[in-house]
Amino acid sequence: MTADGRGSAVPEPDYRDLLASVTAWVEGPGEEWAGRIEATGTVPDALWKELRGAGFLALAAPPDLGGRGLSFVQWMGLMEVFSRSHASVRMIVHVVNGTWRAMNPHAEEAQRRRFVRPSVAGDLLVAFTLTEPGNGTGADITSSVRRAGDTYYLSGRKHMITFGVRCDYWLLFARLEGSTGSGGTVALLVDRHAPGVEVEDTSDTMGVRGTDHASLTFTDTPVPVANRIGAEGDGLAVALGGFLTPSRISVAMSCVGLAQRAQQLAVAYSLERTTFGKPLASRQAIAFALAENAADIAAARALTLHAAQAWQDGAVDAGSLSSMAKLTAVDMLTRVTDKALQVHGGIGYWKTMPIERVYRDARAQRFEEGTNEIQKAVIARHLFRRSDAAAADDAGPAKAPAPAGAPTVLE
């Protein structure tokens, strides 16, 4: 068993039963919750309690952390179904079933007892807190800490932090004061109620209604050194090492699930809507659009499962494949939801139609876990490195030069 749970799995009959129960929940109570969330713009505590009680927040983690112990490929099968539900439901299960992957490989046993296991159980909500308003999401972070004895004092700003309002802790990434590069970064669990923190609720978004987001300002906020995950200098390794690749694959599968929901709605509407005495489904233009959607979804799903298997197996190209899957799936989702809305005609633009929410929610996937431009840079860097390594092998001991202009973004 590895710290990221890649050695875990449940028997196939148990998995099929679990898949059936998740599907039944998504198509039943999940749809009722979707209506309530859209009507109020908030996710009530009762939904969190229901998801936790059903065990849906502890599916992906290994049994030694209190999880169900699904393999990563099995977990992606459930994410596909959850993603057909409201985007806030998908966001909850995606985040809570994922943040332990960042913490666990670097945590001490006392930190597992205090933070990781309660997070897996859904008793403690940890918000991933990396993005800053004036920087990217890599070694250029500027939020900083200075250490005095057993306490760090944190200053800086973070924004677009999912669950940053309602969380118990922020899993926050900063740098040691005066340091540069990734070597000076630290990962800290910052108490949501620590002094010196200003929390601004920025939850009024186009889609993914109900999921809270926050902008955060820290001014000499005290953080115990005991709340540091990993060593000084490990901050970006915690943030990106065991978390980003599987999270990108999960987002890709979220695109697949949401596209399936859009397609389901479009197919049903094309069969029930009649124009000039014939159902829309009999119109070749409509039929071809839905056929294109079906092929598009199947192709993205296959690539995403391929990336999931690669990460589960520890393949060296899993990082590149995760970016390929995310890039492909998010572009697919854009095409599928646009055609699905077009099939509905003007009525699809009204909020009374489920496709309207699906269309809005789909746009958010283009930003989550990196834009398409970032994914292309990651893929290109992998291609250049592979070519560089092949050239070095052909040349013998001397290393071939890197190509000019090769991307240098963090994966």
- Where in the sequence numbering do the catalytic residues fall? 369
Is residue 407 classed exposed, middle or buried when 0-12, 13-18 and 19+ CB atoms within 10 A define those classes?
A: middle
Of 304, 307, 320, the C-alpha closest to 409 is: 320
* CA dist 317 → 1, 6, 55, 306 (Å): 21, 16, 32, 11
CB distance 322 to 245 below 8 Å: yes
Which has the closest alpha carbon to 160: 197, 194, 127, 195?
127
- Give the whole-angstrom CA distance, residue 233 versus residue 230: 8
CA dihedral of residues 31, 37, 43, 46 (deg, nearest 10): -50
Question: What is the spatial distance between Cα 73 and Cα 305, in angstroms, rounded to a whole number?
Answer: 7
DSSP of 80-134, one letter per residue? HHHTTS-HHHHHHHHHHTTHHHHHGGG--HHHIIIIIHHHHHTSS-EEEE---TT
CA dist., res. 301 & res. 332, Å (int): 10
In 3D space, the residue among 365, 298, 360 whose CA is nearest the CA of residue 330 turns out to be 365
Cβ atoms within 10 A of the Cβ of 240, count? 20
Greatest alpha-carbon pair distance for the chain in Å reads 79
CA distance 156 to 303: 39
**The token pair that represents 82 in the structure block:** 């959850």
Q: Is 134 left (phi over 0), alpha (psi -120 to 50) or beta?
A: alpha
**Cβ-based neighbour number of residue 226 at 10 Å:** 12
Q: Could you tell me which residues are beta bridge partners of residue 224?
A: 151
Can you name the residues that pair with 158 across neighbouring β-strands? 216
The length of the chain in residues reads 411
